[in-house]
Structure 1
């Protein structure tokens, strides 16, 4: 405040700029007061000093006032620049000279003060006080002037022995000095507050401008009548209007479309209207709007605003158009309930439908039925013609099934070549048999797929509730037992569940017994399928696939023995063997090649699984970052907390975690939010759909790839079998590719040979 600064000191320099800028604005006033104060002084001293000396002193006062005013007016831009030390010293010296000019006659002609007119002296002192107070914006200058003036005014009375007058002079000087300091402090506080508010306002303005320019969101504001005000360009663009057209319009009219006139507003718009009416804040409110004749989704947040008197003056907030995100989220969420390849309800939705039907049957004492359908000879189609033909065949099967469904029937796909039908109202004893035979007849007709005429039959097993079971799980299991009976009989037939049905259970028991001894008999092997980089086609990793060649049953399909292993928890020792064997084999490969091993829910829920992973890595010498464990979303359905805990332990070792079969079962975005996966594997059904330019498949793959990129994950497209599929997957941005186009599952020796050829190709 006193101006004792260094020129490089930014904040004090700013204070000095404020002080001297105000000094420049009051220069004319101080000039007038300075000159006016000299007039009664001349009247006091001219009798003692003579007219010539008094007049000369007056001329000097006017000249000093002019010089001081000219100097102070140069400080007009002091608030915008750094004042030099020379400028400050020059002004302080001039103020000191002005004080000395006033002190000189008070010392030299002190007798005149004693004999002079008291009113004239009072006017002079008052005007000098006004001058000092007007100079108080620069307190150093004010103190210098009043100090010199006060000392000069006290010397005369002291010389003449009038100590009371001297004391009065000192008291006057002290009061004026204190007032000057108080005014200076108050002025600086006011100016700093103004500057701070202006700076904050400028910062807010810059931030809002930056927000408007670089954000996809926009700002909106309405007055107390809910009419939009201050329409920003981005908000006007969202409304598809010019800012001046939208300004002053009711916000609900702008976004309700035709519903404004008819009164038929979406519930989300009514919710928005209620919140605005109740003047309550809201955040991330999803609102369905209609702008430009098109339905859109906006996400709005708003806060009531009030004027300086505390009166409600409207709302201000932020909004964004989330139509694309909403549609993508709905597509992904739909995966949890519908099969993407066929468009039919998936296992989850079928289970819900059966639960509802069973509950209704219990309540109204009626019957419902569950039919399980398995395609005969479908595996042969896949093996000989490939998955692309097989997928098209499944799509045609689904279309034929839809035609057969009645008002209370629901058909869906359980997975693979298994379908199911829920009959919610079965009053006729023969209705289930008629439906089953109609399914067999329709599905057994020839199919025309890509210039191939294909014949596949269908086997059907059924169970009626609540007669055969009173729970969903038991009813589905009994229908499955009946289906196995149909398959055992050669297929193409329908069997209803019977309590005496033991054939399937007996076969399962024998398979289970053989599976328990498969490890000690060395009947299990691993096959390895390559995963390549989508851009360079270089091998990045292999997926280890379990195979069982039973001495009793011959080659047993994984689809057959793995469910048995999981049900009996044999999957835990078998999975440990597979993990150790895969790590041992991968340790022989080049250091940049990774190995992926499938892990079942039973393994993940085993308390010692993390220790098993550590042991497998240690014994094989394989680096943890070269091991990736593939899990499906089913691991979270039984005990999600335990599964997440195990995943965290494994990830802390440095191993990768891949989410397999994403979108084909119980898909949930919550799994991606709560777990740090390294890879999302996109199911072949989506790859096939994308190659056929299916809008749904394209949208879903784009959404999954974008989501994976945002979460720092890689994506692997499964089941790529053609160049068209490869090109489309590359266009969609998938990171890695796996499929017959780059290699079928192979033995360990073949995998090493393939790696050797890949290395030679790199060198070449």
Structure 2
């Protein structure tokens, strides 16, 4: 049913086109129909008489007039549906016109047969024109030519002119064929025109809807590149009224001040070049300027040509993508720049280093990568908070920017790690100069929210392509050099050396072996005596960790303890040491204590207090005989958690000692908030005091006086000579620890030493 409906609609459309064509040529047919009767009268008047011929001519005029009036009524046939009654009435009128011509031919056959040939030819020609003009409606044309040809042929037969009969029939067939061919051609043309018109209307509607509902606009320029047909939306984008913009050069409208100065952006020059070369373009990003404001347009354009194939300008579509571009730039900024400092991030630094390496390879020059790690920054974060730490990092970034040369790029890798890419290193000392300049500048004091802060910097560097030919390898080598700098205490610069790989590999193997040290029973405890400074009686032993590896032999604590702390293996190892120390001390005399070192990682473990309780319970050791030694570093990680843990331990009755006092930050707030039992003075001050160093003497006196006032004891570490012993006694320290009274020893040796001292007292 739907297909039948579509077919019916098409049929009606064809009928409308046909009858509308009749209306446009109605006057032509009227004139031809009437004029064709004039030569006919000349050879019929003798047979019919004047009045009969005149009457026939009058009927011809009346029929022609009736047809003219009827066909003029079809002028709107394209826009309406043709009624069947209208079609039948018109066909009847055409048939009546044909019969009007057939009457004289049948009534006076002799006149036609003996008529004047030129007059008949003129009549026939005019009739042919009439029929061809009627060919828009094939049914009407065929009806008229059939009647006319049949009447003419019959008239020739009646007159005995058989040649004329054949000629009349041939004439009819030729005219009929011509009318049909002309009808088909006309209908094809009209259908094509109608389809084009419909498509143009559809396109116009779509373009109108596009203009109304889209953020884009249509634009067009003529061959002189002047805007034409400015739509309201395009005019709005130009910040003008349509009539103001029409006829203006496109480039002048969008170039802003650059039109007068000639300082056009590259994108605008590209657009001008495309227009000049008459090339199509798509999604071209163009920076435009209107009323002093810079905007970004996305333009597409295609050359257009007139009906003669001549270039007539461009037409296309455009849109304002300023917001999208700004958003894209912000995304790119987020992806390539560190938001806290505004410096390039790791991604951008990697790209810069890759470019520098490529250029160095190409031109046989050198580039460098420097990795920077801030010293003591973690202490700032932990004590003053991340907000202060972030502001400190911002100041660090500003100082780094000042140091950068034309070919240098500094950025932030993350946390407190920064990096510098030196793209052109011709001077072999340039890297070292840059590294020391960084250390000097970053080590100067910072003023952050009324806090004066001191942080240093450690730098590791690698030079490409000497040290590596890839970005990843060069960065890894610089990291190895930085690790060496940190390992040496920080505040220094180390350049990469090939043997650093060996050190890194050794550390990796040590870490792997350390993970299995407990299960392989490779760890042991040594004990170093601590004596009374006056009586030299053994008061306690400090438990010291030792590692006798099957693979590496005896490994220095200076090597494996930092590895254990970095990997958090110190937690299970420290727990083992605590339990073993308590077990050994349980066999000692009741007045001898055991001191166990506790790292920050252990102290921040939520289960540490429970571990202490478990170790004491399992060994049967009295809590007051266990002394836990901590360093100031525990307060730099999370002071609140450390304080809570220390309070729990003290509530058990255990003793607390603050180790290496004077070598760290030495905040007296630690002593005010935590009731330590013992303060341990570092060996460096003991050595200085023995050499009569005023600073060392003053510091030890101050610590002793403070501890006496607070009810604490002092232990001097590292006493190895009689001179040092004498000086420490003079300064008033409570206890002494050092090689002079015993090196670290095994548990059996410690027990033997205690037995010897007991025998001496008895003797």
TM-score, L = length of structure 2? 0.58
Question: 1:427: which partner in 2?
Answer: 429
Q: How does 1:140-289 map to 2 (within 5 A)?
A: 140-289=139-288
Deviations, residues 599-621 of structure 1 (Å, cap 9, x unaligned): xxxxxxxxxxxxxxxxxxxxxxx
Question: 2:620: which partner in 1?
Answer: none
Query: In 2, Cα distance between the equivalents of 1:204 and 1:54?
Result: 58
SS at match of 1:461: strand
Query: In 1, Cα distance between the equivalents of 2:117 and 2:362?
Result: 114
SS at match of 2:75: helix
Q: Which has the higher contact order (CA 8 A, sep 6+)?
A: 1
Query: In 2, Cα distance between the equivalents of 1:49 and 1:368?
Result: 120
Matched, 1:461 2:463: no
Question: CA RMSD, aligned part only?
Answer: 4.3
Deviation of the 1:144 alpha carbon: 0.7
Query: In 1, Cα distance between the equivalents of 2:417 and 2:262?
Result: 48
Query: In 1, Cα distance between the equivalents of 2:86 and 2:6?
Result: 11
Residues 435 and 459, structure 2, Cα contact 8 Å, conserved in 1:
no
Deviation of the 1:173 alpha carbon: 1.7
Q: How does 1:741-752 map to 2 (within 5 A)?
A: none
Question: 1:509: which partner in 2?
Answer: 509
Deviation of the 1:413 alpha carbon: 0.8
SS at match of 2:342: coil
Are the structure 2 counterparts of residues 153 and 35 from structure 1 closer, same or farther at C-alpha, using a change threshold of 3 Å?
same
Question: 1:10: which partner in 2?
Answer: 9
Deviation of the 1:30 alpha carbon: 2.6
SS at match of 1:225: coil
Residues 440 and 460, structure 1, Cα contact 8 Å, conserved in 2:
no
Are the structure 2 counterparts of residues 254 and 322 from structure 1 closer, same or farther at C-alpha, using a change threshold of 3 Å?
same
SS at match of 2:74: helix
Question: 2:329: which partner in 1?
Answer: 330
SS at match of 1:554: helix
Query: In 2, Cα distance between the equivalents of 1:61 and 1:361?
Result: 103
Q: How does 1:516-555 map to 2 (within 5 A)?
A: 552-554=569-571
What is the aligned length?
520
Residues 7 and 82, structure 1, Cα contact 8 Å, conserved in 2:
no
Question: 1:31: which partner in 2?
Answer: 30
Query: In 2, Cα distance between the equivalents of 1:164 and 1:226?
Result: 70
Moved more, 483-492 or 67-76: 483-492
Q: How does 1:465-480 map to 2 (within 5 A)?
A: 465=463, 469-471=467-469, 473-480=472-479
Moved more, 8-17 or 395-404: 395-404
Residues 22 and 74, structure 2, Cα contact 8 Å, conserved in 1:
yes
Query: In 1, Cα distance between the equivalents of 2:135 and 2:465?
Result: 102
Deviation of the 1:335 alpha carbon: 4.1
Q: How does 1:479-490 map to 2 (within 5 A)?
A: 479-488=478-487
Question: 1:93: which partner in 2?
Answer: 92
Query: In 1, Cα distance between the equivalents of 2:182 and 2:356?
Result: 86
Q: How does 1:369-380 map to 2 (within 5 A)?
A: 370-375=369-374
Residues 484 and 504, structure 1, Cα contact 8 Å, conserved in 2:
no
Deviations, residues 281-326 of structure 1 (Å, cap 9, x unaligned): 3333333332222233333333333333333333333333333333
Deviations, residues 446-477 of structure 1 (Å, cap 9, x unaligned): 643xx9x5967445132364799355555543
Deviation of the 1:378 alpha carbon: 5.3
Matched, 1:301 2:303: no
Deviation of the 1:445 alpha carbon: 4.4
Residues 468 and 497, structure 1, Cα contact 8 Å, conserved in 2:
no
SS at match of 2:76: helix
Deviations, residues 544-564 of structure 1 (Å, cap 9, x unaligned): xxxx998843389xxxxxxxx
Deviations, residues 168-213 of structure 1 (Å, cap 9, x unaligned): 2212222222232233233323333333333343333334333333
Query: In 1, Cα distance between the equivalents of 2:482 and 2:62?
Result: 118
Are the structure 2 counterparts of residues 102 and 555 from structure 1 closer, same or farther at C-alpha, using a change threshold of 3 Å?
farther
SS at match of 1:9: helix
Are the structure 2 counterparts of residues 44 and 334 from structure 1 closer, same or farther at C-alpha, using a change threshold of 3 Å?
same
Query: In 2, Cα distance between the equivalents of 1:171 and 1:408?
Result: 97
Moved more, 185-194 or 402-411: 402-411
Query: In 2, Cα distance between the equivalents of 1:344 and 1:31?
Result: 91
Residues 252 and 259, structure 2, Cα contact 8 Å, conserved in 1:
yes
Matched, 1:318 2:317: yes
Question: 2:612: which partner in 1?
Answer: none
Query: In 1, Cα distance between the equivalents of 2:481 and 2:32?
Result: 114
Are the structure 2 counterparts of residues 106 and 473 from structure 1 closer, same or farther at C-alpha, using a change threshold of 3 Å?
closer
* Structure 2 unaligned residues grouped into runs of 5+: 520-564, 574-763
Query: In 2, Cα distance between the equivalents of 1:476 and 1:384?
Result: 31
Residues 343 and 411, structure 2, Cα contact 8 Å, conserved in 1:
yes
Are the structure 2 counterparts of residues 30 and 455 from structure 1 closer, same or farther at C-alpha, using a change threshold of 3 Å?
same
Moved more, 250-259 or 376-385: 376-385
Are the structure 2 counterparts of residues 265 and 157 from structure 1 closer, same or farther at C-alpha, using a change threshold of 3 Å?
closer
When Rg is computed on C-alpha atoms for both structures, the one with the higher figure is: 2
Residues 349 and 411, structure 2, Cα contact 8 Å, conserved in 1:
yes
TM-score, L = length of structure 1? 0.58
Are the structure 2 counterparts of residues 88 and 416 from structure 1 closer, same or farther at C-alpha, using a change threshold of 3 Å?
same
Deviation of the 1:231 alpha carbon: 2.9
Are the structure 2 counterparts of residues 468 and 481 from structure 1 closer, same or farther at C-alpha, using a change threshold of 3 Å?
farther
Moved more, 103-112 or 410-419: 103-112
Deviation of the 1:393 alpha carbon: 4.7
Moved more, 300-309 or 14-23: 300-309
Matched, 1:345 2:344: yes
Query: In 2, Cα distance between the equivalents of 1:119 and 1:355?
Result: 99
SS at match of 1:137: coil
